[in-house]
Structure 1
Amino acid sequence: MSAPVRGRSTRVRPANRRPKSAEYRARRRVILRRRLVALLTLLSIVGLTYGVFFTPLLGVRNVDVHGAVVLTDDEVRRAAAIEPGSPLVRLDLRGIRERVAAVPRIATVEVERQLPGTVRLLITERVPVGSVKLPDGFHLVDSTGMDYAVLPTAAPGVPELVLATPSSTDPATRAVVGVLNELPEKLRPDVLQVSATSGADVKLTLSGNRVVKWGSSDDTPRKAAVLMVLLSRPGTTYDVSSPDLATVS
């Protein structure tokens, strides 16, 4: 038997195995590719965020006004003071709402953002329950007692209010509008004038030279129901200030 040959052994490398340096390069390419994708994604997010928040990319292009009746859309837009091109997502909605609500004729306002570049202003204008004749004209008063506008002539379709100082904090004004707010629809067309000097002496003047002593605005629905019955009787003065003891004279 021949002796084995001593010396350096040689190993056969598998045919499908690449050198370590090739594997390293492949892994490094994958890592670099992932890092590049992550970097590009981050830059895209930063760029989009900057574009949305600090450029006119999604800026205000239109301001739509809904609900204006007496006011014009441009008057409402001027009150809102929204700068064209202002980034939509950074708009101070509360500030816009406060500026529009400061217009005396406006009772309520809602502000909405609509992508890509529209702001909607939904307003409700005040409705007069009466007008007060003062030296500078006829002051319109709404259901809250607010004196919000002045006209050169009497407002059509609403009674005249005889008040010294129309104001939402004035007891006489609050009593008058409190009565008017709760009058039945059937009675409203007959009311020509409502007056008061305090919160307890409201008086209505109806068509046909009839006068109604109402007293305070308390228990107005009951007083109105009693008055509707009393009006079927002839008379010029109807006193419902105490509805249980109502009189006609």
Structure 2
Amino acid sequence: MNEARTSRRGTAPGRPDPRPREPEPGGAAAGRRPHRWKAVCVALLVIGVLGTVAWVLLGSRLLVVRSVEVTGTELAPRDRIVATAGIRLGLPMVRLGTGSVEARLERLREVESATVERQWPATVRIVVRERVPVVAVERAGRYHQLDRYGVTVTDGPSRPPALPTLSAASPGPTDASTLAALKVIGELPGGLRTRLHGVEASSPDTVTLRLRDGLTVVWGAAGRSAEKVRLIDALRASPAGRDARTIDVSSPEFVTTR
């Protein structure tokens, strides 16, 4: 009887045995070992590549500064630009702090802005934008040339013939009268600006232009430049204004001549 019951509970011929089989010793573990070794090899390869790149960039002599190029300089000597930049030859290119170099260069009075570029593999290029003199101010026998911001760009013993002179109480970048006069000059059309001989600014609202042909233009405050220029041109073309020595356009609604 026991044998019969056992045969009935057994597996029918031709059917798979549903009972789980015992795993073969070392089967799954042996399958995982190649994957582990592959991951270790890949990690070592990545570390090796990163180490090689770091050595090339930081430790080798392959990518270091070998030359410094300077463009855009006329007022500032190239040697002074290079000395102020302070870029050491042989420095790894990746270690070059371009921002700090630009900041040092922009402290030079002739430099309005500077851009430092890496040109791989071994050249640093400095692009300088110099300040442009707009007016000349006479101080103690020397003529100081100011840019559009009132910053002194350079100075010399003689008056620059191409620049108008500026007369103000305290010419400089923090003087409101100076800045008003410079703004007026910047808004003038090219034809009128080239005829400008001098500018007086007793206050920010009282700017006066003196032209090379002897005409004086009481400009007033900065602003409404296009309207004022049209009035000046119209008056100079008319019989009434042709012989005028002074034109007052400080209030464009009430223009006067004398």
Q: Same fold (TM over 0.5)?
A: yes
Tell me the residue number matched to 2:173: 168
**What is the number of equivalent residue pairs in this alignment?**
226
Tell me the residue number matched to 2:103: 98
CA distance in 2, matches of 1:29, 1:200: 86
SS in 2 for 1:74: helix
CA distance in 2, matches of 1:134, 1:85: 45
2:250 to 241, 245, 249: 241
Structure 2 stretches of 5 or more lacking a match?
Answer: 1-32
Tell me the residue number matched to 1:153: 158
Post-superposition CA distance 1:22-81 (Å, at most 9, x none): xxxxxx999989966864653343133033124443111111111112223222111111
Q: 1:37 to 1:200 in 2, by over 3 A?
A: closer
Deviates more, 1:219-228 or 1:188-197: 219-228
Post-superposition CA distance 1:146-195 (Å, at most 9, x none): 22221221112111111232212211111110110011111122210001
2:68 to 63, 69, 91: 63
Contact (CA 8 Å) 1:147, 1:166: kept in 2 or not? Answer: no
The residue identity in structure 2 corresponding to 1:67 is G
2:142 to 137, 144, 159: 137
SS in 2 for 1:144: coil
Q: 1:178 to 1:37 in 2, by over 3 A?
A: closer
Q: TM-score, normalised by structure 1?
A: 0.81
2:178 pairs with 1:178: no
The residue identity in structure 1 corresponding to 2:204 is G
1:86 to 85, 91, 101: 91
The residue identity in structure 2 corresponding to 1:53 is L
Tell me the residue number matched to 1:46: 51
The residue identity in structure 1 corresponding to 2:103 is E
2:196 pairs with 1:187: no
Q: Which runs of 4+ in 1 moved over 6 A?
A: 28-34
Deviates more, 1:144-153 or 1:46-55: 46-55
Tell me the residue number matched to 2:25: none
Aligned-residue Cα RMSD (Å) equals 2.5
The residue identity in structure 1 corresponding to 2:145 is L
Deviates more, 1:185-194 or 1:70-79: 70-79
1:116 Cα offset (Å): 0.5
Tell me the residue number matched to 1:11: none
Tell me the residue number matched to 2:10: none
Contact (CA 8 Å) 2:132, 2:153: kept in 1 or not? Answer: no
Structure 1 stretches of 5 or more lacking a match?
Answer: 1-27
Q: TM-score, normalised by structure 2?
A: 0.79
Query: Percent of aligned pairs with the same residue?
Result: 33
Q: 1:192 to 1:38 in 2, by over 3 A?
A: same
